[in-house]
Chains A and B, each alone.
Chain A
């Protein structure tokens, strides 16, 4: 029901992102998503790999600080207002989204939305009641 995401602490200076992507690339690990939030000095790189467990091991070994976070994933039609309708549901129940990113896979006519929500359980309940399709790791 939930999608596992890896989070890596990264300093905001040249060469750091290369070190991370290269470490995974050499091991043949493919990214499904990748998102970076940054400030002046540091950021958090958040991503989902085809093989999250292996990616986790590789980065640990390479000396990165890696955390795992569970996200709620939903699939919506790739058309206007689709995202708004999902967010509207959460809004009605006063559920706050900490961060969110979306992506589209080729050969799919839908968009995938990944959300980090503090009260995950409640959000799942609310979305399922409204008939929203939740993603699991497999579907990615």
Chain B
């Protein structure tokens, strides 16, 4: 265990710590973030009204749209001078969601990740390959510094070039892999084809950035001979490190000293109890750069507060069972159909008829956008159609940061139900 004093804390003591931190962060957000001050004032709420943990329910939700509306830095609670790192992930339209970190935030973040790694079974003896992309994405750098904090050896290989990744894994004696579950599967398959599975020292697959299924973990175990775990996080509250699975694989332990979790029924605006399924809300308890109160993750899960067999007393969240919005996760990247729509509608020659097909081929997510060709001017010469495809691909790449297959189809070939086109078909096995 990386932080045994926290991870096995007496829950009464934890609640006292959470309350103290909650009171602080609420006052801090109110005093330093204009949006929170305005929100509180509108409903006559004062930070001093938060007297117990239950009072968190008085605070309005924060949504992804709030982050978009305050793009890029208006939710920051400190002057830019204090922010020493920025990360970002995709928003619902063209603009990304930004997160800013102070030095303390980065320190707490790596602590959270070091804990998650240790929950997964990693120690300072491990050599850990990070196959997450390095860049604005929180995954690469987040895990990187967490591994350093744990004291293990980090191999920052980043994403892509699968065969080279496997070569390095073999040559460096890598013992743990950090990747999306689908990329881990792809690596496993490729390693098998290369016939090098037995030459690998790999023992752990630490998967995140997209939800994994028990079947994927089972295949990883079978092919790669590793112990797979999953972990959870999102850019809006700082990135990965919110929660992670331990060797018991009985839910993901939430770093409750840093994040206060609630499960809410949004329609009824009601906080749900232990074991009940609903949307996960997260309040950052220690963030200085960008404190976030009751963030609507849109992820559906449930919580249990029973101590785990591993000895940890931190609450556990179940696997994500679904989402309350239409966000797709493609190869670990968040994609909203609305982003695709805004790209297509921004191109004059395209009509409103398009559909998005998501599938998984060779363990890799694929996304294809089908667009009906309605403009006869495109037919005068062949290269116009090819140019159109290239331009759509390019524009989607700019906004989504991933490659999308684009297919031109005949008018009226996209199925319509009661006149409405079904926009998204997800063929990936659940």
Partner of A67, one of B380, B386, B411: B380
* B401 within 8 Å of A (CB atoms): no
State which residues 50-75 of A face B: CB under 8 Å.
63-69
Q: Which of B378, B382, B385, B407 has the most chain A CB atoms inside 10 A of its CB?
A: B382
Give the residue name and chain of the B residue nearest to A69 (CB): B380
A61 to B410, CA, bound (A): 14
* B343 within 8 Å of A (CB atoms): no
B410 touches A64 (CB 8 A): yes
* B361 within 8 Å of A (CB atoms): no
* A84 within 8 Å of B (CB atoms): no
Residues of B within 8 A of A24 (CB): none
A44 touches B382 (CB 8 A): yes
Which one of B83-91, B221-229, B368-376 contacts A? B368-376
CB distance from B411 to the nearest CB of A (A): 5
* B377 within 8 Å of A (CB atoms): yes
Mask for B400-413, Cβ within 8 A of A = 1, else 0?
A: 00000001111111
* B234 within 8 Å of A (CB atoms): no
Given A63-B411, A64-B410, A65-B411: A9 and B380 interface contact (C-beta under 8 Å): no
A41 touches B410 (CB 8 A): no
B382 touches A9 (CB 8 A): no
A11 touches B413 (CB 8 A): yes
B380 touches A65 (CB 8 A): no
* B379 within 8 Å of A (CB atoms): yes
* A48 within 8 Å of B (CB atoms): no
A65 touches B410 (CB 8 A): yes
A44 to B381, CA, bound (A): 8
A10 touches B381 (CB 8 A): no
Q: Which of B379, B408, B413 has the most chain A CB atoms inside 10 A of its CB?
A: B379
State which residues 344-380 of B face A: CB under 8 Å.
373-380
CB distance from B189 to the nearest CB of A (A): 25
CB distance from B213 to the nearest CB of A (A): 31
Residues of A within 8 A of B410 (CB): 9-11, 16, 63-65
Residues of B within 8 A of A37 (CB): 382
Given A9-B373, A11-B413, A42-B385: A67 and B378 interface contact (C-beta under 8 Å): yes
* A116 within 8 Å of B (CB atoms): yes
Mask for A30-42, Cβ within 8 A of B = 1, else 0?
A: 0000000101011
Give the residue name and chain of the B residue nearest to A70 (CB): B380
**Count class of interface residues, chain B:** 10 to 19
Give the residue name and chain of the B residue nearest to A8 (CB): B379
Residues of A within 8 A of B412 (CB): 63
A89 to B428, CA, bound (A): 58
State which residues 396-426 of B face A: CB under 8 Å.
407-413
Residues of A within 8 A of B407 (CB): 41-42
Given A9-B373, A65-B374: A44 and B413 interface contact (C-beta under 8 Å): no
A41 to B375, CA, bound (A): 18
Mask for B379-391, Cβ within 8 A of A = 1, else 0?
A: 1111001100000
A37 to B412, CA, bound (A): 22
A41 to B407, CA, bound (A): 7
CB distance from B377 to the nearest CB of A (A): 7
Q: Which of B374, B375, B380, B413 has the most chain A CB atoms inside 10 A of its CB?
A: B380
Residues of A within 8 A of B376 (CB): 7, 65-68
A9 to B377, CA, bound (A): 11
Residues of B within 8 A of A69 (CB): 379-380
A98 to B376, CA, bound (A): 18
A7 to B412, CA, bound (A): 18
B385 touches A67 (CB 8 A): no
Residues of B within 8 A of A44 (CB): 379, 382, 385
A68 to B380, CA, bound (A): 7
A11 touches B411 (CB 8 A): no
CB distance from B302 to the nearest CB of A (A): 44
B379 touches A98 (CB 8 A): no
A9 to B89, CA, bound (A): 38
- Beyond A7-B379, A8-B379, A42-B409, 16 additional contacts (C-beta under 8 Å) are A9-B408, A9-B411, A11-B409, A11-B410, A37-B382, A44-B379, A63-B412, A64-B410, A64-B411, A65-B376, A65-B379, A67-B380, A69-B380, A98-B381, A99-B381, A116-B380
What are 25 A-to-B residue pairs whose CB atoms are below 8 Å? A7-B376, A7-B380, A9-B373, A9-B378, A9-B379, A9-B408, A9-B410, A10-B410, A11-B408, A11-B409, A11-B410, A42-B407, A44-B379, A44-B382, A44-B385, A63-B410, A64-B410, A65-B373, A65-B379, A67-B378, A68-B376, A69-B379, A69-B380, A98-B381, A116-B381
Chain B interface residues toward A at CB < 8 A: 373-382, 385-386, 407-413
7 tightest A-B contacts by CB? A67-B376, A67-B379, A7-B379, A9-B373, A63-B412, A69-B380, A65-B373
